[in-house]
Structure 1
């Protein structure tokens, strides 16, 4: 039986996919078979061809690599299609611009090897571009409760089959990672020590657009699935905002500037899936 299935939705990700797949295929050994399923959705570049170029490397290490092609660009549709093709006891959901470290897949497979519903993710390392505003913003964002406690799960998250059985197909929502995380209680969410690199978007306008999308996505979950909100991490455990602001006023100012600009009409986008790149 396949131990783990790694699902990668890829919409015009030809530039990022090689780094993602190279790191993934350099992972530590996992007890049992591993399959990688790249779901190229609505691509106008050679994402699918790039992914297929890694099939031999996957085979050399005893893994399998499948590439699915969907005409429509739809991340939730990609999750559904990938799951339909997956045979793993553990499902790992990986964004194409994320770079995993060698131990991550094995640690996720190990902690999720149970019949009890569980969710897990690694330790995010936020990679910051050479942009002063982005660096300052990120420095304060790292101190927020979402980042400093719990299992945030952005960029890569995983669950076992018992956990995935809690809902049917993925709904048409913006914040898929929030939806997945909140389908588990804090006691059912596990952080493994292995890390992964997640790229922060660069520049004021992009930060505002992406952060607005994330706010809308969370509000959508609260409106459509209010019962899930009770599964959020309990308050406390981090210093108050004023104390963090005094420690790093420049970072706090950058963070506030982005937050204040979220409601500016000039920076709004009609694209609910707006990306920072």
Structure 2
């Protein structure tokens, strides 16, 4: 594959993303130097007008000489949507993008270049958290300084693999943390971070931060239980008391919010009974 003209598939699962899907697609279509690409929006279980909005961008994609398809699935399941998108994708590079993420104009091309190799590879860009509420902004300021977020390439909301990398697994399994699962299929030396950025919105407000953090923890536990052998590929890095104290002194409000959310999740049970949502 190296040195050849690559084709890139951008797979976007979307469940009731009418508020976000326009900004996501406009950012993707503003991408520079990405010549042969296809967009696959896989709407799943939508009860809003996500599909109608996404379909408005088909002609804009065609004007860019890209192809674009919008699927309207009745099943509200992200992993099923990813599998459907994969079955219809034709690209040498597969980019998996959450529908509420906004990419910068160079990051997708940089990812494509990073994955232009024969050996298996995984790639993502530099994550920039975004939040509207004061409490979520404070949470994000501290979280973004945690070593895993600050020094590694987490791939939350945006990750990609090349053809050899996609052969590492079959269908996406029915798990919570699809991004973590795929990242851990690759050794640290097989993962590539590019300088381009993307914006990833985090949950808004105390209640949603707690709900999302609880689900994130469950996702990590699930990976450990089902795919414990993959944990050898983790590269989170240490976050000892000295480092925590240093970041806490620099961002005291953020530390308070982050620590409070962590303690509530650790010492209380989820009794909400609510269906999962990301709390935007």
Q: TM-score by structure 2 length?
A: 0.93
Q: What is the alpha-carbon distance in structure 2 between the residues aligned to residue 190 and residue 168 of structure 1?
A: 22
Instruction: After TM superposition, give the deviation of residue 264 of structure 1 in Å.
Output: 5.6
1:5 equivalent in alignment to 2:5: no
1:244 equivalent in alignment to 2:247: yes
Give the unaligned 5+ runs of structure 2: none
Q: Conserved in 2, the CA contact under 8 Å of 1:174 and 1:273?
A: no
Q: Conserved in 1, the CA contact under 8 Å of 2:147 and 2:236?
A: no
Q: What is the alpha-carbon distance in structure 2 between the residues aligned to residue 167 and residue 268 of structure 1?
A: 35
Range that drifts further, 52-61 or 241-250: 241-250
Instruction: After TM superposition, give the deviation of residue 266 of structure 1 in Å.
Output: 6.7
Give the unaligned 5+ runs of structure 1: none
1:203 equivalent in alignment to 2:205: yes
Q: TM-score by structure 1 length?
A: 0.94
The number of residues matched between the two structures is 275
Report the 3-state secondary structure (helix = DSSP H, G, I; strand = E; otherwise coil) of the residue aligned with 1:93: strand
Q: Conserved in 2, the CA contact under 8 Å of 1:150 and 1:186?
A: no
Report the 3-state secondary structure (helix = DSSP H, G, I; strand = E; otherwise coil) of the residue aligned with 1:207: helix
Q: Which residue of 1 aligns with 2:22?
A: 18
Q: What is the alpha-carbon distance in structure 1 between the residues aligned to residue 105 and residue 258 of structure 2?
A: 33
Residues 1-277 of structure 1 mapped to structure 2, 5 A cutoff? 3-31=7-35, 33-129=36-132, 131-233=133-235, 235-236=237-238, 240-263=243-266, 265=268, 267-270=270-273, 273-277=276-280
Q: Deviations over 1:15-34 (max 9, x none)?
A: 21111001110110224x10
Report the 3-state secondary structure (helix = DSSP H, G, I; strand = E; otherwise coil) of the residue aligned with 1:240: helix
Report the 3-state secondary structure (helix = DSSP H, G, I; strand = E; otherwise coil) of the residue aligned with 1:262: helix
Q: CA, structure 1 residues 121+248, in 2 after alignment: closer, same or farther (shift >3 Å)?
A: same
Instruction: After TM superposition, give the deviation of residue 255 of structure 1 in Å.
Output: 1.0
Instruction: After TM superposition, give the deviation of residue 49 of structure 1 in Å.
Output: 1.5
Tell me the C-alpha RMSD between the 2 structures: 1.8
Q: What is the alpha-carbon distance in structure 1 between the residues aligned to residue 210 and residue 248 of structure 2?
A: 20
Range that drifts further, 262-271 or 162-171: 262-271
Q: Conserved in 1, the CA contact under 8 Å of 2:148 and 2:237?
A: no
Q: CA, structure 1 residues 183+268, in 2 after alignment: closer, same or farther (shift >3 Å)?
A: farther
Q: What is the alpha-carbon distance in structure 1 between the residues aligned to residue 279 and residue 56 of structure 2?
A: 27
Q: CA, structure 1 residues 230+60, in 2 after alignment: closer, same or farther (shift >3 Å)?
A: same
